[in-house]
Structure 1
Amino acid sequence: MRTLHVITGLGTGGAEQQLRLLLRHLPVHSDVVTLTNPGTVARGLTADGIRVVHLGMTGNRDLGALPRLTKFVRDGRYDLVHTHLYRACVYGRFAARLAGVRAVVATEHSLGESRMEGRPLSAGVRALYLAGERVGRATLAVSPSVAERLVRWGVPRHRIHVVPNGIDVERFAHDPALRDPTRHVFGLHRDDFVIGGVGRLVPGKRFDVLVRALAQLPDYVRLLLVGDGPEEQRLRRLAQELGVVRRVVFAGERPCASPSGRVGDPDLPALMNAMDLFASPSDEEAFGLAVVEALASGLPVLYVSCPAVEDLPPHLESAAVRVPGDPESFARQALRIVAARPFGRTPSPAAHHYSIARSAEQHLRLYGAALGGSDSRVRE
């Protein structure tokens, strides 16, 4: 089976890194087209042996991208096209059908209650999304919460399949030998209590809440923010105004797996080894991948919104605590966890529930259903 994955961009975002991890576990031939921004994840995919093509799309209204993508799909003789993220779902689904590919599936990674990938959910955004959805075979929702939002949008329930994101649980297992060397890279002391946050530095992630909470905590509490984005300078100014600028570390964009080594150039799992508490102040998430990764690292977690935790089966427990979204609540709960030190670091059962192997198996079954073929066709 020849599959083509179409994605809006390949910078270091959750959906982009999820695609790379998925392709490592799917036993099918896969190519990737990125409409824009062939960034860090594009280089990682290439290193994994995946062919990555940059379509060179110049903006949302670059309609010339549609015939270019259609020709690429037709020339590649793909059996199935899988699209990811809003712009790629619109252009990719139409291009696949114009090229004669009927097995078209899309993953909805980022649909919140009021925003999709940071953009407000307008009537126009919804109408264009639904028009593209009708030419596909199935829509994969990364959580039951996203599935319900899709139904409310007007996507027929029978066309929606819940396929949660997956993580490499072993990659995030706590390694105490990495704690001090990783802290040293960022000027964090052994006795510091480190609160971590991971994600794009954009308004929707609400990392300003953590900076304000930090100002209410003792001086030995530090904040480690992993990610980059347009909000970085505003967050730095806020930290300066609150007198905590020396206690905030901006680690920048970090991959889930760094080829250069986890101590000299720490990747995300190494950075989680350096944390004592993980905090997610975003009030609108489609899944909450970073929270699951933190649970795999054995960290206590404070969160405002996380469908991955909220949709867990009743028999599974997690160390995640839901809190209101104000700085005072984060500070109060953080102090409680500080007082409980030291604590053990074992992966939460919730993390194993979201293993990438399980996610890949679900993808294969849905690919087979979309193709209308037998199990043997899926395993080709």
Structure 2
Amino acid sequence: MNATMAMQILNLGNNSLSGELPNCWTKWPSLNIVILSSNRFSGEIPSSVGTLRDLKSLHLQKNNLSGEIPSFLRNCIKLQVLDLSENELDGNIPRWIGISLTKLIILSLRSNKFRGHISHKLCALSSLQILDFAHNNLSGSIPRCVGNLSAMEHSLEDSPFQLNVSAGNGYLLEHEFVMMKGQLLEYSRILYLVKVMDFSSNNLSGEIPTEMTNLKDLPSLNLSYNFLTGRIPANMGNMRMLESLDLSVNELSGPIPESMSSLTFLSYLNMSDNQLSGKIPTSTQLQSFNASSYSGNKLCGLPLMDKCSAVGTEPSSIQTSGGRGEGHGEEINWFFVSMALGFIMGFWSFLGPLVINRHWRCRYYRFLDEMWWKISDFLCKYCF
């Protein structure tokens, strides 16, 4: 019995356990690390989890848990890692997370059903290195105070913290899946170096806060698939450590800031499907990306085919009346005309609504994205 009470690590992850989580956590008051991820647990998070005052790491991701984030978790004030991603949790993201769980370094709520606004109280999490709210139903604007997340603002080279949570004589190497450079990547040994902010696939609106550019030590920022408007902050180039930037499928307008030409570490960029216009700034990095990174905008200059003029974009090719057949009427080939008309009618019948109605298009893209996630999760569970 004493050995049971002294247990500090419980790892039952990556199994096929099902049913509701038992409400008997008071029997293990010394637990530091709980890993129940990648199972088939359902129901709500039991209240007795809040009695684990020494808990540092809680992994409940990839289950079928439902309900809201329970308020009793605020008692787990030593939590450094809280991963509730890929469940069926809903409700608002609690403000008390930013008040009570001040030692959090990883907060992942990806792929749930959370709604409401992002509370400015979360900006008090000064140690936060991974903030992942992607694939939810969050609305409202991005809080300006996100620029105060000091762990993303300053280098942590001198920090003693390593994401290898120890528990008495036990030891566990933390690992986490994060979306980086357009791919879902797993990090473990170098996880302490990873810094990610991902608000993608929500219903966020308003402008990108200028204060966000204070995050000079943030390597990965993903704001794609939202309804963000306005211009990209002029001093975006201040985020000098950016390696991955995804602003695609929003309603951003205006030019790409010249300051972005100084982002020398940038290796992944996606600004497609916005309302950006003007010349792509000249730099080694920005011209090295595929043209698809800029598609769906009114941009010009390399790597696009459209050349820039003094007043804007020139057509990539101009039809002239000279050359072969000049001065002679050309016979119309009605067969090809009918083929073209048929293609146009078919396109507008099936794909036209996706082009015209932006909300339908976003839902269609999100549906494909969610199907990809489910297929990937199935393959990971049953094929490897």
Please indicate, yes or no, whether the TM-score normalized by the shorter chain is above 0.5. Answer: no
Greater RCO, CA 8 A, separation 6+ = 1
Given the two structures, how large is their TM-score scaled by the length of structure 1? 0.25
Given the two structures, how large is their TM-score scaled by the length of structure 2? 0.25
Indicate the structure with greater helix content: 1
Q: In terms of Rg, which structure is larger?
A: 2
Indicate the structure with greater strand content: 2
